[in-house]
Amino acid sequence: MSYAQTDSLRLKQDSIKKEKKDSTLEAINQLIIIGQLKAKVDSLVNERDKKAKAVEANQKKEKPKVESVGEVTKNVQDNVNETLTTFTDILSFSSIITVFLIMIFVYLFLKVLDWFFIYLVGRFNRHRLKILRVQPVIKVLVWVIASWALVNTLFDLSAATIMAFMTTSAVALGFAAQDILKNIFGGLLILFDRPFQIGDRIQVKDKYGEVKNIGLRTTKINTLDDSMVTIPNSAIVSESVSNANSGALDCMVVVDLWLPIDINVEKARIIAFESAITSRYLNVDKPVVILFFDHFTHAPATNVKIKAYVLDARYEKAFEGDVTEAAKKAFKEASLYKEKSSLTDL
């Protein structure tokens, strides 16, 4: 075969290869197109089916299944019976009586408890603060036990039920009853952390008085003008509390007396000291301290501070008044009060 023939053959082979290649590519392209077309067709079909189903569903909603009157009546009766059964399971006659008896018992028990504590306080005056400390703790325990008994009587509680209830109600309670919960947790903090106890004289914001009751939600203090102030426990826990006696029967009383700037300090000291030690309300076991300070705020004056302990915190103001009265009388008799200060004369 000559080179020309070979070349022509080669050219023919190349063209045939190219034609084959082109046809293959074209076939592949056609296949791709076919595949794409098929996918499109499938999606169109799915969309059509979905739409058909949606239409069907709408048709079903709009047109509920028509039941017969008998079927409706039967269903209603079944629902009512089911509800009544549940209701009577919870509130049967016996459980109502049980709840009623528990509530009466708790009420009477708390009344007897109050009387018993009053009797103990009257009999053992020296230990009254220790006795009163126990009272709110016992009351809280009684309420907790009573609540548990009530709930247990009405509902058949299991661990799963409790968990389910707590889970579903946590969010609701968190928003709806957060203030009440704050107060309750504050009350528990006060009971167990004990920044103060019943019988203590405390200052909360502008309220000063004796703590009469520590409840779960509020604390009651009796102010010096015999007003009963109820303070939410959350307010107490978030504020600073000043405690005058911290569980002790006695407390320090500071008596402020004002004298002219140029007094005889020795005489004044003796009178101030004896005014305190001769008071019937003095706790003689604790020291009496006399301090002198000069003041020039409005007019020159000497402030005499008598720091002494009263035998019982309940007589705090009586002691202060008694000492003030005796001191003023003695200062006057000793001519320590002058009509005009010698400095103002200048």
Among 125, 238, 303, 344, binds other proteins (CB under 8 A): 125
Sheet-wide strand order for 289-295:
251-260, 301-310, 289-295
> Per rule CB under 8 A, is residue 120 in the interface with other proteins?
no
> Per rule CB under 8 A, is residue 124 in the interface with other proteins?
yes
Among 200, 312, 316, 320, binds other proteins (CB under 8 A): 312
Q: How far is residue 244's CA from residue 248's CA, in Å, rounded to a whole number?
A: 9
Closest approach, Cβ 125 to other proteins, in A, equals: 5
Among 87, 105, 107, 115, binds other proteins (CB under 8 A): 115
* DSSP H helices in 91-127: 93-123
Q: How far is residue 288's CA from residue 323's CA, in Å, rounded to a whole number?
A: 12
Q: Which helix (H) or strand (E) is 213 found in, with range?
A: strand 207-214
Closest approach, Cβ 286 to other proteins, in A, equals: 9
Q: Which stretch binds other proteins (CB under 8 A): 74-82, 115-123, 192-200, 292-300?
A: 115-123
Cα 212 to Cα 125, 215, 221, 275: the distances in Å are: 16, 10, 5, 31
> Per rule CB under 8 A, is residue 325 in the interface with other proteins?
yes
Q: How far is residue 253's CA from residue 287's CA, in Å, rounded to a whole number?
A: 12
> Per rule CB under 8 A, is residue 65 in the interface with other proteins?
no
Among 249, 257, 268, 336, binds other proteins (CB under 8 A): 249
> Per rule CB under 8 A, is residue 329 in the interface with other proteins?
yes
Number of CB atoms found within 10 A of residue 148's CB: 11
Closest approach, Cβ 224 to other proteins, in A, equals: 18
> Per rule CB under 8 A, is residue 216 in the interface with other proteins?
no
Q: Please, which residue, 154 or 270, has the CB nearer to other proteins?
A: 270
Taken in order 326, 328, 331, 333, the sign of the CA dihedral is: negative
Residues near 228 by beta carbon (within 8 Å), at least 6 away in sequence: 212, 220, 221, 222
Binding site for other proteins (CB under 8 A): 115, 119, 123-126, 249-250, 271, 274-275, 277-278, 280, 283-285, 288, 311-312, 322, 325-327, 329-330
